[in-house]
Copies of this chain bind each other. A is one copy, B any other.
Amino acid sequence: MNRPEELIREIIKEKGKIKDVFFAACGGSLVDLYPGYYFLNKESETVHAHWLTAKEMIVSPSKFLNKNALVILCSHGGNTNETVTAAKLAIEKGAGVITMTHNPESVCAGESMNPVVYDWADAVNEKEKPQGIVMRILNELLSIQEASYKKYEAVRAGLEKADAIVRAAVKKVQNRTWLFAEAYSEEPYLYIMGSGASYSQAYGFAICSLQEMQWMDCCYLHSGEYFHGPFECTDEEHLYILMLGTGAAREMDERALKFLQKYAKKYEVIDAAELGINEIDESCSEYFCPMLFYAMSVAYRTALQNKRQHPLDMRRYMGVVEY
């Protein structure tokens, strides 16, 4: 397997300066790329970041998709049509690519894709999974390319600490997830909120964990945008899951919490600070919250699966019919 740090160093050596990074994938894999996108948007003074579903990169490729660009892709199964096509387009345009996949036999694991093949077993360390790999690539990129970048050691230390934090949090919430499922397994509809880097996990929790894996209707919302429309649905009957991240974006989540405390009755709070993320340096802990929230979404969906007796792997269309 290619080491992410070496891959990015080689790409920089070959290309010189990276000016644009495109993050392209589909569904859950796209979710995994968002924290890196948010990180670059906030931290970088040399790199512009783009985050989009792979098909949209194909139908409307940016003019910055060129030899100065790096395209980071992810496909768990490794043969997702849109992602493979996007990778080929990127190569054709002269961009550098790094492709993450779980499947060593897949198209995405082909040599020209610069693959990072990750393991997905329970025991695998967070720094070896897509969100961790992305942070490793970007931390290296900024440290090489930007003299003013000061977070290299803090991010490295965060990558070392993340796995234990996530594992402890999963244990800590076990009983809460059962109580949640007990209370809400029949709920007709719910809203899931987050902001900053963790907006991605509101999206992923909704479209992957609930819509795909539980056929449960729900909607993802940005905690900041909540106050500009969606909050009018809030009352004591509506169910919310609110993810409280860290960093400067947390203010938006806390504002939503205060509102829910006043006007709602059914809401589940998943607070990264309470779940140990502050063991990571505060200069970068916000970029690790999504990793933690992903594990939380797995914990909650597993409790729902068991209560509802709806297997997480049951599909009526994906991989079953043609579309």
Contacts and interface: CB of A to CB of B under 8 A. Distances in A.
A195 B82 CA distance: 15
Given A189-B188, A207-B228, A53 B217 contact: no
A8 interface: no
B217 A233 contact: yes
Contact of A232 (B26, B30, B235, B318): B318
A55 B252 contact: yes
A318 B27 CA distance: 33
A171 interface: no
B252 A232 contact: no
Given A60-B196, A215-B233, A317-B232, A222 B53 contact: yes
A45 interface: yes
A216 B211 CA distance: 19
Interface of A: 20, 26-28, 30, 38, 41-45, 48, 50, 53, 55-56, 59-64, 80, 82, 188-189, 195-196, 206-208, 211-213, 215-222, 224-225, 227-235, 238, 247-249, 251-252, 255, 258-259, 263, 315-318, 323
A41 B56 CA distance: 11
B259 A323 contact: yes
A249 B59 contact: yes
B225 A208 contact: no
A2 to B, nearest CB: 25
Contacts of A263: 317
A205 B230 CA distance: 11
A55 B224 contact: yes
B229 A207 contact: yes
Contacts of A38: 60
A230 B207 contact: yes
